[in-house]
Amino acid sequence: MELGVVGLPNVGKSTLFNAITKAGAESANYPFCTIEPNVGVVAVPDHRLDVLGELYHTKKITPALLKFVDIAGLVKGASRGEGLGNRFLASIRECEAIVHVVRCFKDANITHVEGSINPARDIETINIELALSDLESVQKQKEKVLKKAKSGDKESTWQLGVLEKLETVLNEGKPARTLSFSAEENEFMQTLFLITTKPVIYACNIAESDLNKSEDEIPEVVVVKQIAQAEKAQVLVISAKVEQELTELDDEERALFLEDLGLTSSGLDRIIQVGYALLGQISFLTAGEKEVRAWTITKGTKAPQAAGKIHTDFEKGFIRAEVVPYETLVECGGYTQAKEKGKVRVEGKDYVVQDGDVMLFRFNV
């Protein structure tokens, strides 16, 4: 899974990226500190892997991976080349979702490009710039399709209709995700790689002193939640500064620090949980002495396609899958014991894989 991180300069975007990925992206109190896109890959925390690792005495544990792409802060006029322009936006076009970091903290020592804290204005600025960037892409595609449509090509004619629909809404500075499309139109939409079709997580970056407050007690967060509700987006309240402090602690100190702050999990854990839910992602597991591994798939994926995540030959030559839920496997004390108790199911091509399924695929190529 790949998440693109966007926001105005000095909202805590790179600080959050640093904290989550420990990638060491430069973070400083001046606009456009991020000159090139920063890319960080992190392991998705999954306690089930450690348990299975002990159960199988495995030599290797491989978690699912999450990729973050942090681009330079956008400013008003970015689509027209202001600031560092929109040349970095190409870096997030292939991401599956957007983490939009919104400044919800006051700090006189950290400048704001607009001179004041105003989440609604900041969100609108970014959304307009992303929409205008998409508009440019749509208009270029429209020019190509228009020539074929004029010649009577049926496919190009309906594609032109989709592009004109997109052009209208993007021209108003609204995201493309506010529109509804048929299944066929959605397939065409995916080829356009529009940023504003992607689901959004608004990350409200608050002050450490606000962490012990209810979200509804922080006016800036209330504003963001109202905007997100209207857009059907997700909201995550986080303190980038605290997340950065957490990275400097060992596991025991970290747990105590989180407890003192009244938090049950880190920002990374919560971003992953929200991201997985937003994109309908789940993990199935494979386990053995050589390796215990998590594989990320979309909810609703059938067994052969899940097998294909491991290797294309597994999908091509799929015969059956032997399946046991993680909890059942642990309760039984291992795969052999689960099989002896009749807890291992044999599933065919129509089986829909569930989160936490421990799977063994049989195939023939």
What pLDDT score was predicted for residue 5? 86
**Cβ atoms of 56 and 287 closer than 8 Å:** yes
- Higher-confidence residue of 288 and 36: namely 288
Residue 44, pLDDT > 90, answer no
What pLDDT score was predicted for residue 218? 93
**What is the token pair recorded at 237?**
């309240």
Quote the CA–CA distance of 133 and 105 in Å, as a whole number. 28
Residue 256, pLDDT > 50, answer yes
Residue 114, pLDDT > 90, answer no
What pLDDT score was predicted for residue 87? 58
Closest CA to 278 of 28, 100, 17, 30: 100
Residue 59, pLDDT > 80, answer yes
* Range among 24-38, 87-101, 153-167, 333-347 with highest mean pLDDT value: 333-347
Residue 340, pLDDT > 70, answer yes
How many other CB atoms are found less than 10 A from the CB of residue 151?
A: 9
- Higher-confidence residue of 73 and 210: namely 210
**Cβ atoms of 303 and 353 closer than 8 Å:** yes
Quote the CA–CA distance of 16 and 342 in Å, as a whole number. 47
What pLDDT score was predicted for residue 31? 39
Residue 363, pLDDT > 50, answer yes
Q: Which sign does the torsion angle of CA 185, 135, 233, 74 carry?
A: positive
Comparing 121-125, 243-247, 304-308, which segment has the lowest mean pLDDT? 243-247
**Whose structure tokens read 């970015």?**
78
Q: Percent of the chain, pLDDT > 90?
A: 45
Mean pLDDT score, 330-350: 95
Comparing 87-91, 130-134, 226-230, 341-345, which segment has the lowest mean pLDDT? 87-91
- Beta-carbon contacts of 170 under 8 Å, excluding residues fewer than 6 positions away, are 131, 132, 134, 135, 138, 176, 196
Quote the CA–CA distance of 55 and 57 in Å, as a whole number. 6
- State which amino acid sits at residue 359: M
Quote the CA–CA distance of 347 and 336 in Å, as a whole number. 18
Residue 228, pLDDT > 50, answer yes
Dihedral pair phi/psi, residue 326, rounded to 5°: -50, -50
pLDDT digits (tens, 9 = 90+) for 135-187: 989 999 999 898 888 888 888 889 999 999 999 999 988 889 888 888 888 89
Q: What is the pTM of this model?
A: 0.81
pLDDT digits (tens, 9 = 90+) for 265-301: 887 788 888 888 888 899 999 999 999 999 999 999 9
Comparing 11-25, 27-41, 202-216, which segment has the lowest mean pLDDT? 27-41
Residue 29, pLDDT > 50, answer no
What pLDDT score was predicted for residue 33? 40
Kindly state the helix (H) or strand (E) to which residue 286 belongs, with its residue range: strand 281-287
Mean pLDDT score, 106-130: 84
**What is the token pair recorded at 111?**
């400048």
Quote the CA–CA distance of 12 and 102 in Å, as a whole number. 8
* Range among 15-29, 85-99, 177-191 with highest mean pLDDT value: 177-191
Please, what is the average pLDDT of the chain?
A: 86
- Higher-confidence residue of 191 and 267: namely 191
- Higher-confidence residue of 117 and 314: namely 314
Residue 35, pLDDT > 50, answer no
Give 363's DSSP letter: E
pLDDT digits (tens, 9 = 90+) for 66-94: 888 877 666 565 555 544 445 567 777 88
| CA end-to-end distance (rounded Å), the chain | 29
